[in-house]
A = this chain, B = another copy of it.
Amino acid sequence: MGQPFRLHPQLQQDCHTLGRCGSLHVLLHRNASLPWLIVVPATDASELFTMSAALRRESLTCCQRLSDWLLQREQITKINFAAIGNMVPQLHLHLVGRYPGDPCWPRPVWGNLNTDAVYDAVDIAKLREQLADRIDLRW
């Protein structure tokens, strides 16, 4: 038996947990300057293209639904999607809703987002509710 899957401490520190969706943890970056979701599949694989095909499919289906949802939010016209992992080795997929003139436009957020804002508990509860139907999110 392997160890039970645990979120990397850095992801716990940087993010709110929105919930679970099947084998995926769905996180919200604490910096509320931009809508920034992070999907963490429960796997030891560290690369998008070396994880199991089934789990990659599940991850990308979830990302697609999150992307659709982000694109329906006010202002958002673009999704920045990335699997980087140079700092945090645990595989995690970024989905950032962007628009021309946003606090970091046109630079990618990683290392460049210098504004800060916070979510309150009501914001997070609302997001969980909105996502519950979209991606079968369990809290």
Contact = CB atoms under 8 A, between A and B. Distances in A.
Interface of A: 46-50, 60, 63-64, 67-68, 71, 78-87, 98, 105-108, 110-112
Contacts of A47: 67, 71, 78-79
Q: How many copies does the complex hold?
A: 2
Given A105-B86, A108-B108, A108-B110, A68 B80 contact: no
Contact of A106 (B46, B78, B81, B86): B86
A80 B81 contact: no
A80 to B, nearest CB: 5
**Closest 6 A/B residue pairs (Cβ):** A82-B82, A86-B106, A49-B67, A49-B64, A81-B83, A108-B110
Given A49-B67, A108-B108, A108-B111, A98 B79 contact: no
Contacts of A63: 49
A107 B78 contact: no
A115 to B, nearest CB: 16
Best-buried of A50, A79, A83, A112 by chain B (most CB within 10 Å) = A79
